[in-house]
Amino acid sequence: MIDFELGAVQERFADIVWAEEPVGSGDLVKICEKELGWKKPTTYTVLRKLCEKGLLQNDNGVVTSRISKEEFYSSRSQQIVEESFEGSLPAFVAAFVSKKKLTPAEADEIQKMIDAFREGGEG
């Protein structure tokens, strides 16, 4: 099972892997030094932790993800809805839009998703 709880630093690291994979661990060290200002031990420590969480894998020095970025963020979003809003997507959306006003384009995009869901025979 994958642990979807990541700190900001781990999330940024995962984003780098998703953008670069497959990436050699040595190349990953260089990228993290350039983009994050990290030393080699820091890169390997964070890599090890994300491998332990089941998000990444390091196979003979080649680092890849075990799930895609889209799958990760989708699952994490579902987890937030379940844990923070008792599984209620409408409650989540209401909380979200109470602080951030939707643009007309965003509202149209959401409506298209709802329409597509209904046309698919669901709901």
* pLDDT at residue 16, as a whole number: 97
Q: Where are the alpha helices (DSSP H) in 1-123?
A: 8-20, 25-36, 40-52, 69-84, 89-99, 104-119
Domain extent for 25: 8-69
| pLDDT of 123 strictly over 60 | no
Q: Give the best-scoring range by mean pLDDT among 26-40, 68-82, 92-106, 108-122.
A: 26-40
* pLDDT at residue 1, as a whole number: 55
Our CA angle for 84, 118, 70, nearest 5°, is 50
Q: Which residue has the tokens 């959401």?
A: 110
Are residues 63 and 14 part of one domain? yes
In the chain, how many domains are there? 2
Q: Which long-range contacts (CB under 8 A, 24 or more apart) does 42-47 make?
A: 43/13, 46/9, 46/10, 46/13, 47/13
Our CA angle for 63, 68, 71, nearest 5°, is 150
Are residues 94 and 64 part of one domain? no
Whether 77 maps to a domain, the answer reads: no
Whether 46 maps to a domain, the answer reads: yes
Average pLDDT over residues 96-111: 87
Average pLDDT over residues 63-68: 95
